[in-house]
Amino acid sequence: MRLCSDYNASPAKEQNAEGFLRYMKKRAKLLEPHERYVTLMMDEIHIQQYFEYKGGSLTGTASNSSEAAKTAHVFMTQCLLSSHKDVAHILPVFSIDASQLHEVLRKVILGLEEAGLTVVAVVTDNNSVNRKVMAMFSKARTVDIVYPHPADSSRPLFYVVDSVHLLKCIRNNWLNQKNPGTCIFYPQFNSTSSPVPVHGASFKTLRDLHTSEQNSLSKFIYGLTYKALHPSNLERQNVKLALKVMSPFVAEALRTLGAELNLLYATETAAFVELIHKWWRVVNVKTPSKGRRLNDSMQEPVRGMADMQIEFLSDFVDWLDTWKNVQMDTGRLTSETHSALRLTSYCLIEVSRYCLEELHFEYVLLGKFQTDSLEDRFGRYRRLSGSNYHVSVQQIFESETKLRLQDSLVFPDMQELCKPCRTTLDAAKLVEDHGIKITADDIKRKEPNMPAITYIAGFCAHAALKKLPCESCALNLTTEERELQLDRNILIENLSRGALKFPQPVVVNAVLHTQLVLEKLSEKENATWFHAAGNQRELLLCLSKHFLSDNEDLDVCFKGHHPDTVLHNVLHAAANTLLKNYVNVRTDNLRAKKVEEQQRKLRTLK
């Protein structure tokens, strides 16, 4: 990670306005014209609440508060006409409402458009917050398939609910039915009868079918497993298990063995499984050659509005409308899943029309309108973090930095991005903008803490002299044990085994001011922007030097070492020590809060 930390590719450096989308703005310039048409995927990853201090920076805090982040909203682009994809922005949050997330999404879209990309659609899961976020793009605040584009109101911005998420929702809705047989009752597809016949699809039938072949080495129901039929809450997130249920092998086994085994709703269950699988085949095409490779015309790219895939999706939307009008008390999809399934199916028709007729694409790959790539990214974060499910903000930032640098190695023109980032801070302006002041009362209040501050100062003097071995500088920074017997040195005296250093007053004063500055920065009114800074250590050093400029300076070294260099080494060690302590305090408070909450729940149960 030493190599990665030196380069300007970390998402941690993009949390403030100055660095926002910096990586994407550089990367977009290297894309071919056809690669600049993208979808913007948005999803959240749950993270471990944890404060960390590493490489001079604090991580773990939410971007919109000083609390520890609980989730990270990740925004990722995916090219519609190539395999290129990139994480544009990572937003750690403790909690966020729809209006705040909408503003961030709008800002990301506008930033990507400014960088030269064309955002065709936003793809999310069916979370209610995401629906509200998208609804805010319209004056009516309604969920729709298309909205005025924030970069140009004459252009459309399509909204697609992730088809992978919807497939899992259909399976989960079916699995959650409480009626006898665990049945979903659906209208016949493409029926011309009136009224439309209603059929039943039984999940219990699938379990009975599996039981009938569980000891057989050769099975009709290839791939169907016990885990697929009895998934845990965590396993319900696995789309592969859903596809084991919505499988053509299952449909064929039901038709073949249904009558023989006297299975309830065998033919109707097979028809439902086959219909959902056909929908999946249409919406999951990600490469132009998939249909030819699998010899399946339904998995060809969409090349015209008269294609059978578009015709099927149109019929599927009509079928969903019919289903909505069927009156029943049980055995149906939830209203959220039903409306999202219709929205996505209809939107894929219209976005195909837009891409073919307005953008003049040769073909459209409907599988590009998914968040699969983003979910894969989350998996890579976890694998790069020791295969931990709950990763921290720092681990996400480090993993994304590694992945960005790995991708950048194939671009010879990305050297500009790989230059170390150097930001010049204006201490006077920061002090004025944020009202940071150190008064005599502040210094007086620290008197009880002076033994600990002096102990830290002794360590800082030792660290500075390790970087700059010089007898003259040593005399300026430290004093002999016998020369100074003050109460504030008691901690060093009691812990010393003959090697600890007693700091000069100028070193103690430097550490004291560094601590006071850090306390001012971590106050409620300053904490949010402080945590959003690219490098908290550099910020702390800058402000500490500003407040020390009016105090006594170090004596000039006889060997020519500049006092500013010596003071910088002292403050560097002080900043590292104090920031690390700050993180430990915040983390301990967080853990104590969790324990207290657990105990409160236990008391409630008693």
**What tens digit of pLDDT does each residue of 86-116 get?**
999 999 999 999 999 999 999 999 999 999 9
**Which ranges of the chain have pLDDT less than 70?**
1-7, 410-423, 481-488, 490-500, 550-553, 606
Cβ-based neighbour number of residue 311 at 10 Å: 12
* Together in a domain, 313 and 449: no
282 lies in the same domain as 405: no
* Inside any domain, residue 133: yes
Q: What are phi and psi of 70, to 5 degrees?
A: -105, -30
Same domain, 498 and 460: yes
198 neighbors 327 (Cβ within 8 angstroms):
no
What's the domain count of the chain?
3
Domain for residue 355, yes or no?
A: no
Q: Is residue 360 part of a domain?
A: no
Any idea which residue has 């008691």 for tokens? 490
pLDDT number for residue 606: 64
Say whether both 482 and 584 belong to one domain: yes
Structure token digits, residue 489:
């040195």
- Whether 475 and 504 map to the same domain: the answer is yes
- Residue 283's nearest CA partner among 370, 191, 168 is 370
Residue with tokens 């104590």: 592
Class of residue 359 by CB neighbours under 10 A (exposed 0-12, middle 13-18, buried 19+): middle
- Are 217 and 290 in the same domain? yes
Cis peptide before 469 (omega within 30 of 0): no
Is the CB of residue 220 less than 8 Å from the CB of residue 257? yes
pLDDT at 495: 63
Where does a domain end: 319, 336, 353?
336
CATH number for the domain spanning 146: value is 3.30.420
Q: Domain check: are 24 and 97 in the same one?
A: yes
| 357 belongs to a structural domain | no
Q: What does the CA dihedral 265, 267, 268, 271 come to, rounded to 10 degrees?
A: 150
Q: Is 164 left (phi over 0), alpha (psi -120 to 50) or beta?
A: alpha
Question: What is the C-alpha to C-alpha distance for residues 590 and 413, in angstroms, rounded to an integer?
Answer: 44
Instruction: Give buried/exposed letters for 161-186 (b at 16+ CB in 10 A, else e).
Output: bbbbbbbbbbbbbbbebeeebbbbbb
126 and 21 together in one domain: yes
Between the CA of residue 49 and those of 68, 117, 128, 268, 272, what are the distances in Å?
Answer: 6, 34, 24, 48, 43
Q: What is the largest CA-CA distance in the chain?
A: 104
Residue 561 burial by Cβ neighbours in a 10 Å radius (0-12, 13-18, 19+): middle
Same domain flag for 450 and 570: yes
Domain end call among 387, 416, 445: 416
pLDDT, tens only, 441-483: 888 888 888 888 888 888 888 888 888 888 888 888 888 765 5
Relative orientation angle of helices 450-467 and 563-605, to the nearest 10 degrees: 130
pLDDT at position 552: 58
Whether residue 147 is contained in a domain is answered as yes
Q: Which of 394, 375, 33 is CA-nearest to residue 237?
A: 375
**The pairing of beta strand 118-124 with beta strand 37-46:** parallel
Within-domain flag for 347:
no
- Plot region of 55 (φ>0 → left; ψ -120 to 50 → alpha; else → beta): left
Could you tell me if 452 and 528 lie in one domain? yes
CA distance 525 to 544: 19
What is the rounded CA–CA span in Å between residue 27 and residue 413? 9
The encoded tokens of residue 83 equal 């395999």
Which residue(s) pair with 121 in the sheet? Answer: 39, 158
How far is residue 491's CA from residue 452's CA, in Å, rounded to a whole number? Answer: 7
Task: Report which DSSP code applies to 18.
Answer: T
Model pTM?
A: 0.82
Structural domain that includes position 255: 166-336
The answer to whether residue 143 is domain-embedded is: yes
Task: Kindly state the tokens that stand for 80.
Answer: 């519609």
Q: Please report the pLDDT score of residue 603 as a whole number.
A: 83
525-566 pLDDT, tens digit per residue, is 888 888 888 788 998 989 888 888 755 567 777 777 888 888
Domain assignment present for residue 509? The answer is: yes
Say if residue 175 is in the same domain as residue 157: no
* Distance of alpha carbon 541 from alpha carbon 576, whole angstroms: 10
Q: Take residue 596 and report the two structure tokens written for it.
A: 């207290």
209 and 155 within one domain: no
Q: If DSSP states are collapsed to H, E and C, what string results for 218-250? A: CCCCCCCCHHHHCCCCCHHHCHHHHHHHCCHHH
